[in-house]
A and B are shown apart, each in its own frame.
Chain A
Amino acid sequence: MTNPSENKKPMVLDEGLEKGAAKLTQDRIEKTIKQVLEGETGARFKAYVETCVHCGLCSDACHVYLSLDRDPKYSPAGKVKRTIGEIIKRNGKVDAQFIKEASVVASTECNLCKRCAMYCPFGIDTAYMMLIVRRICHKLGVTPLYIQDTAHSHAATMNQMWVKEDEWIDTLQWQEEDAREEIPNLRIPLDKVGADIMYSVIAPEPKFQPHLIYDMAIIMNTAGINWTMPSEPGWDNSDMAMFTGDNELCARLKKEHFDLAARLKVKKIVMGECGHAFRSVYDVGNRMLGWRMHPFNTIHAIEFYYDLLKTGKIKIREKYKKSVTLHDPCNVSRGRGLHDKARWVINQICEDFTEMYPNREHNYCCNAGGGVVNCGPPYKIKRVTSNRVKAEQVAKTGAEILITPCHNCHSGMDDILAYYNIEMHTKFICEIINEVMVKPEEA
């Protein structure tokens, strides 16, 4: 591992922030802040604001703080102080430059990973505070350009990558056709009403990684699952609007997803290997719509693989030989407690598993989550340099393969591995299962 650019301070120019801030008036800023704080927050916000005693115990929980030489301004409490704390202190009388800087802090220096909340003696959730800042910035139109474009894609197409409706279906049929080279009677059943399972993915899969749909089709067909994939919008379970503070759009996306499952009369939704999308259905989007939890039994791919292996629906021919380690995605491990199931699955399919430390719910974030990677190229160097601790943690394992069942983690970890010259490759669990499982012709 090398550290190629210590102390490099990249110049960041984000048109979304610059042009957005240029349009602001003092009146609009103050009215918007008042509306959000008085109209959209309550006891939780007040309790957090009044309870924090600035003890600093949250600091060592933050990978950004640890990676940037323990600069207090990057501690969770420091980020609150630089944003919402200052807004409260000044009674909302902040200027456009402040809003622009607050947007940078909230959208690119905090992954909403909630690790700090575990270490706070009072359980103060800094992620919630940062989301309030993002909400204010959204309402003021000062959101980083690339993630705003992603939200626009969601709004126009109901998926995050501008995938057109025919492109989606065509990709599924293309993967089905390719997979028939391996299993001649394989199907990706489209719109099969009454199937047991609806499988949903995020838009980067049809756009850039269709082989992951292929892998899951092989797994589903081998396991004999009565499944379907939807042809209609709502197939993308991701939700970057959740991270831009566009709560109304976030809710709309989740409505499309659950409406689709309801129309298809499925009993369960299985979501692909994505962390933030999972959070959007069990914690955020569902609640914005009025549900306590997801209305359907909705499980992450980790749980699905666990069930398939436990029940013997898929069997392993020969375990994967290369040494592997696991990066726990925050939203499935810390957020939903799937870390032990993930380990059980990996130990079933891999011969040589090495833990990284800390791990499970204590794992460091990849620094891509929470929409940070979606803020795009302007922040890439900042993103990798402010997660040196992750690079060190990963490098220490000496593993050849880094497994992480989350798309954003993949992107983030790929960048970190490349930047710090760590000889390691990322993989999704389904890629390894497809490689080592017994397939129909071998059964």
Chain B
Amino acid sequence: MADSANWDWGTGEKLISDLDEWKSSFNWVEEPYVSPDGEQIASIVNVDEAEFNVCVNGEVWREDIYDKAWHLRYTPDGRLTALVNENDEWTVAVDGESWENTFDYAWNPIFSKDGGTIAVSFQKDGEYGMARNDAPWEELFANLNCPELSPDGTKTAATVQIEDLGSADIFKFQDGVFTAADDGTPWDSKFVNVWWKSFNHDGSKLAAEIRLNLYDYTIAVNGEPWAKTFASVWKPIFRPGTDSVVAPVKAAGKWTIAEDGNIIWDKGFVQLWQQMFSPDGKKIAAIVAPSFGRWTVAVDGIAWSATIGDMITEMVFSPDSSKVAAIALEDEKWTLIVNGSLWQDTYDMAYQPVFSPDSQMVAAKVEKNKKFTFAINGKTWNQKFDYVWDPVFSPDGKNILARTVEDGKYYRRVIPVNEMIG
């Protein structure tokens, strides 16, 4: 991840690019993306019939065109990537340079936390695998789903089909034809299903949701299922710095949390998912439904008293582990909920909350009546824009990097938080 301390926090306002001018240069300009530091804005652009390029701050990536391009995204370290097609072959382009390896199809790029690793799923000659930083798996498979990249970017994994399965052969399916491939090497064991998975901190352990038969769900770690089975499970995660695995499990009709197969919360919920460890590794938070149709967050098994009707998502811990924030939906209106307190203002859409480095402030991109702005500590900034990207706090927490579009122009602004919340 780019170190924001090296970004320009001194310049109040920069006009980076006039997007309306782009429109006169191309047949069409697709939705733009901005770099983490706000210094670049980029779009896929159509140059002519079936001719595409990428425009960055008004300049095209390269002279040659692509036959197709999609999924333009910046990595956390600020590199611009796209999935591109030339001469009927797909690959990944990074800052205008294509990978050497090409595929019959490539999709679903995943980035490591620091942005140093890019992984994609690919299909070549009807076989499936993953490629990490332009290095494809050696062994390929009949199908591939639920890809994962280790947090440090050193390992890839996916669910793979390891045996042929004839049309409507339900009996062979139930014997198990799927496993997880860890960097392309399949586990020794096979299962009826393998779904979402996680790596531990150094990529040496891989845990996945599995179904042993049509009825018994559990978690497998490096191919070894937990001793206990459950009515259902959701995606597991590792306890930070350890090889212990924590997953939501459904037991006796209620959802709760299990660690290495043993239930560790004494409370059961109508639903429970998206469990997360605090940065210090001491707390577990999860999104829960304490009663049918009501949603909130539970920390270490204790649910907040405030509940909401439709959805809680995008949960984050503060850097000091003292706070949890999420966005909450009821009756088509979104708001934020922080440590159990719902903000008063509501929005047509809210994005993932962002904590200041000292954990004292929380901000989020919000949308109302087709205009975008930021909400900070429960207050909505009175400036409105045609579009904004997520806010970024300066390292000292005093300023916010606001990446905004107004009247067809993209601006990078550094704004004191005090000005924004008055």
Q: Are B253 and A39 in contact (CB under 8 A)?
A: yes
Q: Which A residues touch B31, using CB under 8 A?
A: 189, 192
Q: Which B residues touch A141, using CB under 8 A?
A: 174, 214
Q: Are A152 and B292 in contact (CB under 8 A)?
A: no
- Output the residue of A16, A19, A169, A255 with the most chain B CB within 10 A: A169
Q: Which B residues touch A138, using CB under 8 A?
A: 214
What is the number of residues of chain B that contact chain A, defined by CB distance less than 8 Å? 58
Q: Given A248-B231, A291-B293, A291-B310, A231–B253 Cβ distance below 8 Å?
A: no
Q: Are B232 and A251 in contact (CB under 8 A)?
A: yes
Nearest Cβ on chain A to B205's Cβ, whole angstroms: 24
Nearest Cβ on chain A to B293's Cβ, whole angstroms: 4
Nearest Cβ on chain B to A155's Cβ, whole angstroms: 5
Nearest Cβ on chain A to B353's Cβ, whole angstroms: 14
Return the chain A residue nearest B387 by Cβ.
A194
Q: Which B residues touch A233, using CB under 8 A?
A: 145
Q: Which A residues touch B311, using CB under 8 A?
A: 258, 262, 295-296
Q: Given A192-B31, A267-B332, A290-B292, A155–B211 Cβ distance below 8 Å?
A: yes
Which of B165-173, B260-268, B275-283, B392-400 lies on the face that meets chain A? B165-173
Q: Taking the complex as formed, is A79 at the interface, i.e. its CB lies under 8 A from any CB of chain B?
A: no
Q: Which A residues touch B107, using CB under 8 A?
A: 165-166, 169, 231
Q: Given A141-B214, A295-B311, A290–B143 Cβ distance below 8 Å?
A: no
Q: Are B123 and A246 in contact (CB under 8 A)?
A: no
Q: Given A252-B232, A265-B349, A190–B143 Cβ distance below 8 Å?
A: no
Q: Given A156-B193, A165-B107, A248-B232, A16–B143 Cβ distance below 8 Å?
A: no
Q: Are A156 and B310 in contact (CB under 8 A)?
A: no
Nearest Cβ on chain A to B92's Cβ, whole angstroms: 14
Q: Are B178 and A194 in contact (CB under 8 A)?
A: no
- Output the residue of B178, B231, B250, B293 with the most chain A CB within 10 A: B293
Q: Are B108 and A185 in contact (CB under 8 A)?
A: no
Q: Taking the complex as formed, is B309 at the interface, i.e. its CB lies under 8 A from any CB of chain A?
A: yes
Which B residues from 49 to 83 make CB contacts under 8 A with A? 49-50, 68, 70-71
Return the chain B residue nearest A266 by Cβ.
B349
Q: Are A177 and B50 in contact (CB under 8 A)?
A: yes
Q: Which A residues touch B49, using CB under 8 A?
A: 180, 184
Q: Are B215 and A169 in contact (CB under 8 A)?
A: no
Q: Report Cα–Cα, A36/B217, bound state, in Å.
A: 18
Which A residues from 142 to 170 make CB contacts under 8 A with B? 145-146, 148-149, 152, 155-158, 164-166, 169-170
Q: Taking the complex as formed, is B348 at the interface, i.e. its CB lies under 8 A from any CB of chain A?
A: yes
Bin the interface of chain A by size: 35 or more
Q: Are B313 and A152 in contact (CB under 8 A)?
A: no
* Chain A proximity mask over B344-374: 1 for CB below 8 Å, otherwise 0: 0000110100000000000000010000000
Q: Which A residues touch B121, using CB under 8 A?
A: 165-166
Q: Given A149-B170, A187-B30, A262-B311, A156–B143 Cβ distance below 8 Å?
A: yes
Q: Taking the complex as formed, is B105 at the interface, i.e. its CB lies under 8 A from any CB of chain A?
A: yes
Nearest Cβ on chain A to B256's Cβ, whole angstroms: 14
Which B residues from 148 to 172 make CB contacts under 8 A with A? 161, 167-171
Q: Which B residues touch A246, using CB under 8 A?
A: 214
- Output the residue of A177, A187, A231, A295 with the most chain B CB within 10 A: A295
Q: Which A residues touch B415, using CB under 8 A?
A: none
Q: Which A residues touch B404, using CB under 8 A?
A: none
Q: Given A184-B49, A231-B107, A262-B313, A157–B349 Cβ distance below 8 Å?
A: no
Q: Report Cα–Cα, A289/B312, bound state, in Å.
A: 13
Q: Are B293 and A267 in contact (CB under 8 A)?
A: no
Q: Taking the complex as formed, is A139 at the interface, i.e. its CB lies under 8 A from any CB of chain B?
A: yes
Return the chain A residue nearest B172 by Cβ.
A152
Q: Taking the complex as formed, is B271 at the interface, i.e. its CB lies under 8 A from any CB of chain A?
A: yes
Q: Which A residues touch B167, using CB under 8 A?
A: 149
Q: Report Cα–Cα, A98/B107, bound state, in Å.
A: 48
Q: Given A145-B170, A185-B28, A170–B232 Cβ distance below 8 Å?
A: no
Q: Are A290 and B293 in contact (CB under 8 A)?
A: yes
Q: Which A residues touch B292, using CB under 8 A?
A: 290, 292
Q: Are A290 and B289 in contact (CB under 8 A)?
A: yes
Q: Are B270 and A290 in contact (CB under 8 A)?
A: yes
Q: Which A residues touch B170, using CB under 8 A?
A: 16, 145, 148-149, 152
Q: Given A146-B168, A156-B143, A290–B50 Cβ distance below 8 Å?
A: no
Q: Which A residues touch B305, using CB under 8 A?
A: none
Q: Taking the complex as formed, is A355 at the interface, i.e. its CB lies under 8 A from any CB of chain B?
A: no
Return the chain B residue nearest A195 by Cβ.
B31
Q: Given A292-B309, A295-B329, A166–B232 Cβ distance below 8 Å?
A: no
Q: Report Cα–Cα, A41/B273, bound state, in Å.
A: 25
Q: Report Cα–Cα, A149/B313, bound state, in Å.
A: 33
Q: Report Cα–Cα, A296/B211, bound state, in Å.
A: 29
Q: Given A248-B231, A262-B313, A139–B349 Cβ distance below 8 Å?
A: no
Q: Which B residues touch A187, using CB under 8 A?
A: 28, 30
Q: Which A residues touch B171, using CB under 8 A?
A: 19
Q: Are A295 and B71 in contact (CB under 8 A)?
A: no
Q: Taking the complex as formed, is A191 at the interface, i.e. its CB lies under 8 A from any CB of chain B?
A: yes
Q: Taking the complex as formed, is B144 at the interface, i.e. its CB lies under 8 A from any CB of chain A?
A: yes
Q: Which A residues touch B309, using CB under 8 A?
A: 292
Q: Taking the complex as formed, is A95 at the interface, i.e. its CB lies under 8 A from any CB of chain B?
A: no
Q: Which residue of A148, A165, A184, A292 contacts B144 across the interface (Cβ within 8 Å)?
A: A165
Nearest Cβ on chain B to A282's Cβ, whole angstroms: 13
Q: Taking the complex as formed, is B40 at the interface, i.e. its CB lies under 8 A from any CB of chain A?
A: no
Q: Given A152-B170, A156-B143, A290-B271, A185–B27 Cβ distance below 8 Å?
A: yes
Q: Are B70 and A190 in contact (CB under 8 A)?
A: yes
Q: Given A146-B168, A251-B232, A231–B108 Cβ distance below 8 Å?
A: yes
Q: Are A292 and B293 in contact (CB under 8 A)?
A: yes
* Chain A proximity mask over B181-200: 1 for CB below 8 Å, otherwise 0: 00000000000110100000
Q: Taking the complex as formed, is A232 at the interface, i.e. its CB lies under 8 A from any CB of chain B?
A: yes
Q: Taking the complex as formed, is A297 at the interface, i.e. its CB lies under 8 A from any CB of chain B?
A: yes
Q: Report Cα–Cα, A246/B395, bound state, in Å.
A: 50
Q: Which B residues touch A16, using CB under 8 A?
A: 170
Q: Which A residues touch B273, using CB under 8 A?
A: 255
Nearest Cβ on chain B to A436's Cβ, whole angstroms: 27
Q: Are B270 and A169 in contact (CB under 8 A)?
A: no
Nearest Cβ on chain B to A265's Cβ, whole angstroms: 6
Given A152-B170, A156-B145, A173-B68, output 16 extra A-B contacts at Cβ < 8 Å.
Answer: A148-B170, A149-B168, A155-B192, A164-B123, A166-B104, A185-B27, A190-B70, A194-B349, A232-B108, A251-B232, A255-B273, A262-B313, A265-B351, A267-B349, A295-B310, A296-B310
User: What is B's interface to A at a CB cutoff of 8 Å?
Assistant: 27-28, 30-31, 46, 49-50, 68, 70-71, 104-105, 107-108, 121, 123, 128, 143-145, 161, 167-171, 173-174, 178, 192-193, 195, 211, 214-215, 217, 231-232, 250, 253, 270-271, 273, 289, 292-293, 295, 309-311, 313-314, 329, 332, 348-349, 351, 367
Could you list 16 examples of A-B contacts with CB < 8 Å?
Answer: A39-B253, A145-B168, A156-B193, A164-B143, A165-B108, A166-B107, A189-B31, A192-B31, A231-B107, A248-B217, A248-B232, A262-B311, A267-B349, A290-B271, A290-B292, A291-B310
